[in-house]
Structure 1
Amino acid sequence: MLAKGQTVIQIMEQLAPKHVAMEGDKIGLQLGSLQKDITGVLTALDVNEAVVDEAIRLGANLIIAHHAIIYRPLANLQSDTPMGKVYEKLIKNDIAVYVAHTNLDVTEGGMNDWMAEALGIRSSGSVEDIHTDHLYKLVVFVPKDHHKRVLDAVLNAGAGAIGNYSHCSFNIEGYGTFVPGEGTDPYIGEQGKMERAEEIRIETIVPQSIRNKVIQAMLKSHPYEEVAYDLYPMDLKGRTFGLGRVGPLDTPVTLEQFVQRVKENLNVPKVRVVGDLSRQIKKAAVLGGSGGRYWKAAMFRGADVLVTGDIDYHTAQDAEMAGMTLIDPGHNAEKIMKSKVASWLREKLAEQKYTTAVHASEVETEPFIFL
């Protein structure tokens, strides 16, 4: 059975929730429609004409990309311009494009965790925090004979996490009253008669990032036609999401040795380096994309080196004078996401018995030639 477009994106947003993206980031569905069966998904760092041709060849009608294809407002849509040809080919072949950018960067198990893992960085936090997950108190009233079913559904969907504890809840027995109205088909009671039912009040904590998932699990497992539940915002803060990752290396290495690791494990032919190649690197930071402006934050977190792309001349000078080491593998080092997202989606779709194919793009979109 093929997955619907909305289903694929709901699964994708379990990995990269939209609400954790940086303000103003161009994410989400940018072109096409999700109201269709998805024959194939192609994961890509960038979308150019070669990537679109690859999607057509593979029979993929949804591209999940990291970089937006519409970043600035369009003044027109002319098919005789380079990007206009790309848009035209996407539309004519009914290929939708969905973008996960900074939400994929900051999420746990996303871009910066993948890059940190590849470089042997034992992440102990973000380079710079940008978003804290809001917490809600979920209260739902359940008939006694369905208590375990609803409680398990809610907790297994991710509710009830407090610090290092999971599946936390509080349960109180009581009585609920209601009168089923005309046209109802009540699980308990009769139309027009007051019903007094033994119920259990379940209370638990729900992070904003999985709120919809938890509510859907609750409604699906609950026997009532009209479920009585409340959702209260809390002052307590949940998980913090941030750009980049910083942490110690298992074994200190020289900057020169670490440079070789970056080149090999991020699959880049050349890097630019700021600093003494003989310097000992004990703690490192990595930030996918253009993260040069975060070198002070990385230094403040105790990092000996920051690995990030697109470092400009004056930033390099400032960091050098401050004694901070930098490695620039280029923006394209984020291509690690292609295989990682494809593998994650493939596994999640298979768990739900969907036959939609998932491919990682093999097109090289690096615009620079290294000589």
Structure 2
Amino acid sequence: MAQVPALDDVVRLLHQWYPPHTAESWDAVGLVWGELDQRVGKILFAVDPTPEVAQEAAEWGADLLVVHHPLFLKPVHGVAATTPKGRTLTTLIKAGCALLTAHTNADQALGGVSEALATALGLGEQQPITPAPGDPVDKLTVYVPTDAAAIVRAAIAEAGAGQIGNYDFASFSSDGTGRFRPLDGAEPMIGTVGAIEEVAEVRIEAVLPRGRRAAVVRAMRAAHPYEEPAYDVVEVADSEIGATGTGRIGTIARMPLGEFAQIVADALPPTAQGVRVAGDPARSVRRIAVCGGAGDFLLDTILRTDADVYVTSDLRHHPAAEFLERAAGGEDGGPALIDVAHYAAESTWLPVVEARLREVLGEGVETRVSEINTDPWTMRL
């Protein structure tokens, strides 16, 4: 029989793929409720933690409900079952079903919401619209007597310096001559007080995560033979363009805007809103930018890209109109806009994270994507 994982194991996986620390500061992500040692044999995935979705989870016997939107984005003073949010949590607790949210931490990630939307629309050569900055890095440079260089190199590596990609203990060394004069009160290992001394030294350079700066410097000083080692630590400018970041931009086979809009409509679940288009249906499009969820905060950025069309949700009248006016002054008329329902865009992520978990956890876990459409709009006249 396949092993049924503990909730702690599932949470660790989701947090590895969608790290909570990458969420926006205003967001509320992570495990909302659940005992870490409870077994998880059934996982349900949904965009919104509504009372109806909670009831579906309870009736199916789910042990974990994974949602995109937070249940408690704003602070509350109680969770009485007289409120919709209280009913949702009460239903889950009574059913023994844990609740986990992956919101803005899932938006930017590999295998996240914007990537899922871009893939659902057939975009190739995907890149983030705004790449996430790489982890902050420092560089340590220290001067060591030649016969002690290997000891110091090993000490700083053990403390966390010198890791680059899939390599560790990486450093650079160059030979030189150190010159100094010990003063009164010094206890020099080499040389005498008052006399200038020259020593064959090695300059050692290694990069390190900024969070390991204090530990690496302590290790260096402890291993260094000098009473006062000469060293410096500099902050390295971020030059890495990673695969994570806000939104996605990619390519499709060139086609008219109207034809691409139909592809968008066919790829997403039907909603009362449908697909709204701003632009000439006959214009040719190839470069497509997308952002899962409300994406009008990226409008200024989109104007600086080579996108032919921008697909997102919740575009408001004035920002959209001003965007189109500014785009019209561009060389090629600027990007067109396609506005889709918020729920529809973000629902593309659910089968992606479901498949990802199922692949890792194996047959010990049943998974299901909720079929409840939680889009708030139900009719259009």
| TM-score under structure 1 length normalisation | 0.71
Structure 2: segments with no counterpart, 5+ residues: 140-162, 172-205, 213-232, 328-334
Work out the CA distance in 1 between the residues paired with 2:23 and 2:117.
18
Work out the CA distance in 2 between the residues paired with 1:207 and 1:99.
28
Q: Which residue of 2 aligns with 1:347?
A: 359
- Secondary structure, counterpart of 1:261 in structure 2: helix
- Superposition pairs of residues 139-150 of structure 1, within 5 angstroms: none
Query: Which AA in structure 2 matches 1:266?
Result: L
Contact 2:311 2:338 in 1 (8 A): yes
- Superposition pairs of residues 226-237 of structure 1, within 5 angstroms: 235=236, 237=238
Work out the CA distance in 2 between the residues paired with 1:260 and 1:79.
43
Deviation of 1:262 after TM superposition, in Å, equals 0.6
Decide whether aligned partners of structure 1 residues 359 and 327 sit closer, same or farther in structure 2, where only a CA change above 3 A counts: same
Matched, 1:18 2:6: no
Q: Greater shift after overlay, 35-44 or 309-318?
A: 35-44
Contact 1:125 1:246 in 2 (8 A): yes
Q: Which residue of 2 aligns with 1:338?
A: 350
Residue by residue over 1:192-236, the C-alpha shift from the partner in whole angstroms, topping out at 9 and shown as x without a partner, is xxxxxxxxxxxx98989xx9xxxxxxxxxxxxxxxxxxxx99736
Q: Which residue of 1 aligns with 2:51?
A: 49
Query: Which AA in structure 2 matches 1:325?
Result: A
- Aligned pair count reads 292
Work out the CA distance in 2 between the residues paired with 1:119 and 1:135.
36
Q: Which residue of 1 aligns with 2:319?
A: 315
Larger radius of gyration: 2
Q: 2:373 aligns with which of 361, 364, 371?
A: 364
Query: Which AA in structure 1 matches 2:350?
Result: K
- Secondary structure, counterpart of 2:249 in structure 1: strand
Work out the CA distance in 2 between the residues paired with 1:304 and 1:322.
14
Q: Which residue of 2 aligns with 1:247?
A: 250
Contact 2:7 2:37 in 1 (8 A): yes
Q: Which residue of 1 aligns with 2:336?
A: 325
- Secondary structure, counterpart of 1:133 in structure 2: coil
Decide whether aligned partners of structure 1 residues 335 and 284 sit closer, same or farther in structure 2, where only a CA change above 3 A counts: same
Contact 1:319 1:325 in 2 (8 A): no
Q: Which residue of 2 aligns with 1:188?
A: none
Decide whether aligned partners of structure 1 residues 284 and 290 sit closer, same or farther in structure 2, where only a CA change above 3 A counts: same
Decide whether aligned partners of structure 1 residues 235 and 35 sit closer, same or farther in structure 2, where only a CA change above 3 A counts: farther
Contact 1:293 1:315 in 2 (8 A): no
Contact 2:111 2:353 in 1 (8 A): no
Decide whether aligned partners of structure 1 residues 77 and 266 sit closer, same or farther in structure 2, where only a CA change above 3 A counts: same
Contact 1:256 1:278 in 2 (8 A): yes
- Secondary structure, counterpart of 2:358 in structure 1: helix
Q: Which residue of 2 aligns with 1:280?
A: 284
Contact 2:67 2:102 in 1 (8 A): yes
Q: 2:268 aligns with which of 266, 269, 286?
A: 266
Decide whether aligned partners of structure 1 residues 306 and 366 sit closer, same or farther in structure 2, where only a CA change above 3 A counts: same
Q: Which residue of 1 aligns with 2:92?
A: 90
Residue by residue over 1:164-199, the C-alpha shift from the partner in whole angstroms, topping out at 9 and shown as x without a partner, is xxx434489xxxxxxxxxxxxxxxxxxxxxxxxxxx
Decide whether aligned partners of structure 1 residues 307 and 271 sit closer, same or farther in structure 2, where only a CA change above 3 A counts: same
Work out the CA distance in 1 between the residues paired with 2:41 and 2:209.
33
Residue by residue over 1:286-339, the C-alpha shift from the partner in whole angstroms, topping out at 9 and shown as x without a partner, is 000000121221221111111000011111211221234111111012111111
Deviation of 1:135 after TM superposition, in Å, equals 5.3
Deviation of 1:124 after TM superposition, in Å, equals 4.5
Work out the CA distance in 1 between the residues paired with 2:138 and 2:17.
20
- Superposition pairs of residues 38-187 of structure 1, within 5 angstroms: 38-134=40-136, 160-161=164-165, 167-170=166-169
Work out the CA distance in 2 between the residues paired with 1:69 and 1:63.
12
Work out the CA distance in 1 between the residues paired with 2:370 and 2:208.
36
- The percent identity for this pair of structures is 31
Contact 2:58 2:92 in 1 (8 A): no
| TM-score under structure 2 length normalisation | 0.69
Work out the CA distance in 1 between the residues paired with 2:44 and 2:168.
40
Deviation of 1:120 after TM superposition, in Å, equals 2.2
Deviation of 1:10 after TM superposition, in Å, equals 0.9
